[in-house]
Amino acid sequence: MCRPDRSPRVEMLLSSMLFEYLMAGLPVLASDLVAVAGVINRYDVGRTVTSVEPVGAEKAINAMVADPAALGRMRASGLAAAKIFCCERENEELARLYNRIGLGSG
C-alpha cells in the first residue's frame, strides 16, 4: 500500500543497486518501498526500515550486524536470488512473454 508521502511510482522503484548488492552477496538494508520490500522479504536478503533517519538506520544496522547467522543466511539468499534476476534469465522471460502475446519473432 502506498504511503501518503510517496507516489505509486516511487513505491514501485527498483534500483539496479539492489540487484548489484544481491550479486555481491551483501545483505541489504533499505527503505520500505513496496517493490524493494517485496524483493527483500520474498527472498530473505535483508531488512527494511520505515525511516532512514540516522538513529533508526544505526539501530537497524547494529541489529543486523549482531546476528551473524542471519547475515550468512541473507548472503546465501542474495546470491541465490541474483541467479533468478540475472539479465539472461530476464531476457528469456521477456522473449516468452512477447511470444505469448504475439509480438515475438518465433
- Widest Cα–Cα separation across the chain: 55
**Residue 54 in domain:** yes
CA distance 6 to 12: 10
**Residue 106 in domain:** no
Q: What residues make up the domain containing 21? A: 8-100
Which CATH number characterizes residue 47's domain? Answer: 3.40.50.2000
**Residue 78 in domain:** yes
Instruction: Please give the chain's pLDDT, 106 residues, in tens.
Output: 555 566 666 667 788 899 999 999 999 999 888 899 999 999 999 999 988 788 988 999 999 999 999 999 999 999 999 999 888 887 888 889 889 998 877 5
**Residue 28 in domain:** yes
Strand partners, 48: 30
How many structural domains comprise the chain?
A: 1
